[in-house]
Structure 1
């Protein structure tokens, strides 16, 4: 994970927590933390959408550049072949001592019939050569135009890639800051739950003591008996995330950001067949539904990846993972952690889960609506 700078706001919040009144300072700082997190999330969502558009532009420009390079290569070959053919004819005619004027050939020949035949043949050669000259000129002009456009295209590709790199850097900074704020809020939430649990336990103990006192008072002629009051059970957790009423969980923990890029052009003439969920390195990755975690062989494009074979009959693909946290073939529940987020394969520099939805194990469909409903 890249290091990030500590902003003055965080220092101010920490100082307030130490020197200010505990309860009011904490409440104020949490409000500021939540507000900053919302601002960063808005920036993340805008940057994610912009990154998707830039990646689409890079892929489109790259495909056009490949087409122009192929066309330029074909034209260059055609120009060379025409030029070499014309040079060969000139050399052959020079060796035979021929002239290129049909009238001169006719007048300087001793045999009128032979002179006429030679003149007609030479005339056809001259006409053919003129056609080749015109073709050569046209091909040269087309080649020059294609090379000019190709140079422009390369400059546009470089500019688009520079924009892409800048957006990736911005996303990394904002994701790192958002992760820091998320950890702070989660720690505060755990502390709030601990205090709430303690209050419930103390209230239960007071209620039990009051019941015991009332029982002793009503049975003053009976020996006093001790009673242990009921105790509340501690909460469970760890390695899981919330599951919605539909039985699904968001496949990537917070902070994260994603946009609808279904069908957008990608390098190599491909189209995007999933949704990229951007998150910091190491962010927990969860099973969206209950099923079997099937680890696949790593590949140069997918990197570390797995298929969640859902109990609902659908397949959910997770690509570019950093690591697996369950074994191959493990039975997992919806919301259980199965992996961590990374940038393996062709995702270098942009940690994200490429998430695909394959209903019934068939062709992929756009997973964006499903993700919007559960994330």
Structure 2
């Protein structure tokens, strides 16, 4: 039986798109820095400190964030105080039931160093229902309120417009190039959800600020002020601790798609932005692979942010553009580069803050200040991994383009 002409044309178009993706993924600059992958056997040369630094700024003595600072006074932050000084904010975690022990470790650290004083609620998300054991043990780990929410399938599932055959081929091509997690559907789904879907959940509809907390992270320093009130009082919309390079092969078309969006919506680019953070080449070859993106990004496993940033018209339209482009699946766009590109382009850079006083570790990187309130980490140590990992630090690029605040 003859195949209808329309079907032949559709099949031909799909094949051409497939060829284009394979050529794009396999084309590589031979001078590019090769990021580590499981299975690399060759020894890796130590990497230098960021350009222009004679020492890590965290070796310098530092104190708290600038005043005004809201502190505990009497019962103003008591867990059962209905009229407390807490504002509309939450600690937010996307976590699996099997990550319970790692989540408890993170909770114990953050409760010990900060939240036992301020008692902000914990909001947990999972793509499957939480077990009673998970609920009971995490509830027991804090005096604050806890809530547990299942992500709707419509928020988590792979969108209907994603070509499944092209997606399967893309995953294999990325895996062959050593792009970590590229073959895991759940990782692609998680990145998309964290990028532009999480704040659409009913549980967050009335929440303004969140502090993202992942399983198996560490907090080292006592913090004696209300971090959420500080964000509000100082007109900050995004806070970070670490900023790193990404794998250029995971975001080859993110910047070209961003430029397409800016061409259609020039009104969204902030006058006092930090575009140089995104375009200043730090590692040779990255900008060539990505069409001009440095791959510097805020490591979003720690982020404290105003949800109105993501609910804005600029970000809503940007995420919709990226989502339809398909890069969360045909490539491995992470929420970290997506959030970072948006923050650096659409937000006034004065509203972005480096929390140098919050000691933090997500393996294998540290933010460890020289502060008498810290214990358990070495001031100025950026990584406990191989020396070459020091070269992945993008703080110098951020400070150059936006300042240290």
TM-score when scaled to structure 1?
0.20
**Higher share in helix:** 1
Q: Which has more radius of gyration?
A: 1
Structure with more relative contact order (C-alpha pairs < 8 Å, separation 6 or more): 2
